[in-house]
């Protein structure tokens, strides 16, 4: 069952016409849906006007100024990712065939991955949640909180990989994963990637070559969500779950070539937050 909402107040919901569309963490049937079903459930977000990275950051800031908790936004994002991971695993006949490997960077993208790990564990999946970064804790209070919460999850194994050697050890069993989730980096990445993130992206590439489905969180690491410019190296996903609105960078020729199928999930940002 999805984790319960923990006392967060939000000023508005996302709607499709006059019919309320439940946010992911409030959607009682979300984990029963296929990828097609998720697309239909989130049709209002999918059909909204695309925005770039800076506009998305602005909407996020204004939503919080309006009273929407950053923790609540991350909760909905991670829940949406988990539902898409399960749907992808079921569609590819890989649900319960191996652990879900979630590679998480130290920032909020990784925080979304930690939330997804919790929801997937409560769906009965075995999950390996990996903090890929030089420090032993994520950055930011929301990511730290969700990383720490995983210690109490029976079906989640937490691993820290601060250097490329640790990533290489992890890569030895990547062919046994059910799905690999790229929650490494989101917006704001420019130029070549540095280790240990670079090694983690290369691991994802090997997993894809071995036939493992790849799902990226918000954007494949690291595609610029405004321009579609690609990092070196870049994750090539089968499915990408982005949030609130479609992103211009994922609609470009280069961005769409590596994003795979793109789902757009509502996370609780009110419409008024788009006006800046």
Pick among 3.30.420.40, 3.40.720.10, 3.40.50.10260, 1.10.3720.10: CATH of 35-269: 3.40.50.10260
**Domain boundary assignment for the chain:** 35-269
CB of 258 closer than 8 Å to CB of 235? yes
Q: Read out DSSP for 211-234?
A: T--EEEESSSTTB-TTT--B-BS-
Verify cis geometry, omega within 30 degrees of 0, for the bond prior to 233.
yes
Categorise residue 226: left if φ over 0, alpha if ψ from -120 to 50, beta otherwise: alpha
Could you say which DSSP state residue 178 is in?
S
pLDDT score recorded for residue 9: 36
**pLDDT tens digits for 125-157?**
999 999 999 999 999 999 999 999 999 999 999
pLDDT higher at 271 or 69: 69
Whether 56 has a pLDDT exceeding 90, the answer reads yes
Give dist(CA 109, CA 88) in Å, integer.
Answer: 20
Verify cis geometry, omega within 30 degrees of 0, for the bond prior to 222.
yes
Give dist(CA 150, CA 240) in Å, integer.
Answer: 23
Cβ-based neighbours of 223, under 8 Å, separated by 6 or more: 229, 230, 231, 234, 249, 250, 254, 255, 258, 259
Whether 16 has a pLDDT exceeding 50, the answer reads no
Q: Which of 61-70, 78-87, 184-193 has the lowest mean pLDDT?
A: 184-193
pLDDT score recorded for residue 20: 52
Query: What are the angstrom distances between the C-alpha of 12 and each of 52, 59, 88, 226?
Result: 23, 14, 30, 27
CA neighbor of 274 nearest in space, from 68, 22, 50, 55: 55
CA neighbor of 79 nearest in space, from 44, 144, 33: 33
Read off φ and ψ for residue 235, nearest 5 degrees: -75, 135
pLDDT score recorded for residue 276: 54
CA neighbor of 2 nearest in space, from 39, 21, 28: 28
Across residues 239-266, what is the average pLDDT?
A: 97
**pLDDT tens digits for 188-229?**
566 789 999 999 999 999 999 999 999 999 999 989 999 999
């Amino acid at each position: 069952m999805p984790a319960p909402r923990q006392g967060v107040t939000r000023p508005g919901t996302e709607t499709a016409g006059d019919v309320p569309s439940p946010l992911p963490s409030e959607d009682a049937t979300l984990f029963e849906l296929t990828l097609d079903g998720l697309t239909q459930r989130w049709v209002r977000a999918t059909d909204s006007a695309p925005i770039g990275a800076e506009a998305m950051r602005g909407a996020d800031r204004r939503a919080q100024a309006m009273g929407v908790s950053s923790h609540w936004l991350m909760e909905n994002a991670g829940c949406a990712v988990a539902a898409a991971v399960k749907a992808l695993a079921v569609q590819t006949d890989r649900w319960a065939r191996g652990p879900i490997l979630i590679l998480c960077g130290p920032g909020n993208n990784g925080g979304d991955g930690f939330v997804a790990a919790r929801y997937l564990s409560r769906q009965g999946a075995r999950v390996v949640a990996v903090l890929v970064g030089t420090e032993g804790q994520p950055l930011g209070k929301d990511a730290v909180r969700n990383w720490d919460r995983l210690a109490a999850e029976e079906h989640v194994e937490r691993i820290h990989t601060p250097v490329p050697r640790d990533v290489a050890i992890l890569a030895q069993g990547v062919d046994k994963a059910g799905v690999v989730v790229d929650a490494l980096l989101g917006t704001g990445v420019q130029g070549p990637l540095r280790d240990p993130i670079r090694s983690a992206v290369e691991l994802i590439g090997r997993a894809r070559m071995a036939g493992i489905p790849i799902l990226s969180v918000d954007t494949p690491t690291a595609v610029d969500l405004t321009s579609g410019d690609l990092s070196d190296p870049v994750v090539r996903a089968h499915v990408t779950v982005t949030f609130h609105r479609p992103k211009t960078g994922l609609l470009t020729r280069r961005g769409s070539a590596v994003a795979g199928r793109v789902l757009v999930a509502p996370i609780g940002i009110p419409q008024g937050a788009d006006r800046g």
